[in-house]
Structure 1
Amino acid sequence: MSGIGVRETATYRLLLVEDDGELAELLADALTAEGYVVDLARDGQRGLHLGLTRRYDVVVIDRLLPALDGLDLLRRLRSRAVQSRALLLTALGTVDDRVHGLDAGADDYLVKPFHLDELSARLRALCRRTADGAEALRIGAAHLDLNLRDVVLPDGRRVALSAREFELLRVLAVHPNAVHSRSELRRRVFEETTAPSIVDTYVYYLRRKLGRAVVRTIHGLGYRLGTL
């Protein structure tokens, strides 16, 4: 297996479910170095718990796991409407094995032994697919659900937002590195109101619900997205 180069993937959360201790540590270290936020589970039961209680962009699951088989784990995640992209790692490389994996809900399938560069490329492709079909916007380790119009915290708890709170946070989250002036945010979110101070009021509401870090104040310029 060859090495993975460092790339800009820091916004993606990844769950790695692998019982081989040496391989698990190797992959976790390599993917962390590439910029992923990685959680590691050493058996299927732990993987199931993490997959159901936290949100991941991609899950990487070994096919043969103790406590709960990789295919069963994936089927249970899909039965609970977990939409994370899934890549199966396996030493079982027959056509039937690949078919069973895809039928269980996998988006991709990689046979051991493999090159880390190939795994990296496949994960980047899955992350692009996640972004292209986004139904959520990331806020640090949390995300803004665009369908239910609420915030899902890293521990899975949901925080309800008013219509204006949601729209203000959505505008900030669409361009997370941009600084938005108060007058711009007033025009985009509160167009029927002439006072830019309405923006400060709703920033206060968001911070009261989600913590001060959710919106950053850039003194003299305006606001930008923070983190959770």
Structure 2
Amino acid sequence: MTARPRLLLVEDDPRLGPIVRDVLADAWDVELVTTRVTALEAALHRLFDVLVVDRRLPDGDGLDVVRELRRFRVATPVLVLTALGEVHDRVSGLDAGANDYLVKPFDFDELQARLRALTRDYDAPGPSIEIGGWSFRPDDHTVHSPYSGRVALTDRESELLAVLAAAPDRVFSREQLLSAVFERGEQLGTVDTYVHYIRKKTERDLIATVRGRGYRLGTPA
């Protein structure tokens, strides 16, 4: 059986939230949260196909959720759901990184149609690379595990891991990695620093040190 697409609904209205959840539950696996903090916790550590985010939350603006997710390179489509319907409000939502904007009150058929369009048009990240218990997704600069959830990587961290993952049995010297990933003039120690960053975000065995030779992709449990 094919799993249903997953949707994160961020809505603090005690009446509207459950209604929207129940309506969407026919087609989506819906998780409902009610605050900015719980929205970020969910979206950064679990995988969703689309997010529906209300602007007015008890602990802040829902657009801050969108901005923070984009800062961490979470590219999941976002529909902002709000009572703020002026042109400048819609512009603010789109500028924050939202993909669509629907003003309350709304028709449930329109909401579902917009969500279908978002997920249909969204270019999902390319295939993942399995590294032990981790799943590396170079296109969206993330690694995932059942225990740590989604971990965002910087551009350089992702590029370094992608080079190692392209030839998992090969040992790369620091000079080779420096040339492949970093700007001319960087020191060899930069490679060691970024290996340390990746290990700190994931686990030490994700990248193995081969004494006297360099680094290769590891085999974490």
| Structure 2 unaligned spans of 5+ | 152-160, 169-220
TM-score (norm 2): 0.60
Counterpart Cα distance in 2 of 1:28 and 1:9? 20
Counterpart Cα distance in 2 of 1:10 and 1:40? 18
Query: What letter matches 1:12 in structure 2?
Result: P
Q: CA deviation at 1:11?
A: 3.2
Q: Is 1:100 aligned with 2:105?
A: no
Partner of 1:179: none
Q: In the alignment, is the contact (CA less than 8 A) between 1:16 and 1:38 conserved in 2?
A: yes
The equivalent position to 2:43 in structure 1, one of 42, 46, 51, is 51
Q: Is 1:147 aligned with 2:138?
A: yes
Partner of 2:104: 112
How does 1:15-54 map onto structure 2 within 5 Å? 15-34=8-27, 36-54=28-46
Report runs of 4+ in structure 1 exceeding 6 Å deviation.
Answer: 148-151, 162-165
Residue 147 to residue 118, structure 1, CA distance change in 2 (3 Å)? same
Q: CA deviation at 1:133?
A: 3.8
RMSD of aligned alpha carbons: 3.3
1:33 match: secondary structure: coil
Q: In the alignment, is the contact (CA less than 8 A) between 1:136 and 1:144 conserved in 2?
A: no
How does 1:217-228 map onto structure 2 within 5 Å? none
Residue 146 to residue 78, structure 1, CA distance change in 2 (3 Å)? closer
Partner of 1:169: none
Q: CA deviation at 1:32?
A: 1.4
Counterpart Cα distance in 1 of 2:102 and 2:26? 21
How does 1:61-76 map onto structure 2 within 5 Å? 61-76=53-68
Residue 42 to residue 146, structure 1, CA distance change in 2 (3 Å)? closer
Q: In the alignment, is the contact (CA less than 8 A) between 2:46 and 2:150 conserved in 1?
A: no
Q: CA deviation at 1:119?
A: 0.5
How does 1:170-181 map onto structure 2 within 5 Å? none
Counterpart Cα distance in 1 of 2:62 and 2:143? 30
The equivalent position to 1:128 in structure 2, one of 95, 98, 120, is 120
Q: How many residues align?
A: 155
| Structure 1 unaligned spans of 5+ | 1-7, 166-208, 210-228
Q: CA deviation at 1:45?
A: 1.1
1:21 match: secondary structure: coil
| Alpha-carbon displacement from aligned partner over 1:62-117 (angstroms, at most 9, x marks no partner) | 01111121111111111111111000001011110000000000000000000111
Query: What letter matches 2:118 in structure 1?
Result: L
| Alpha-carbon displacement from aligned partner over 1:179-218 (angstroms, at most 9, x marks no partner) | xxxxxxxxxxxxxxxxxxxxxxxxxxxxxx6xxxxxxxxx
Counterpart Cα distance in 1 of 2:137 and 2:35? 32
Residue 60 to residue 12, structure 1, CA distance change in 2 (3 Å)? same
Partner of 1:214: none
Per mean C-alpha deviation after superposition, the further-off stretch among 143-152 and 45-54 is 143-152
Q: CA deviation at 1:147?
A: 2.6
Counterpart Cα distance in 2 of 1:153 and 1:115? 38
How does 1:160-171 map onto structure 2 within 5 Å? none
2:70 match: secondary structure: helix
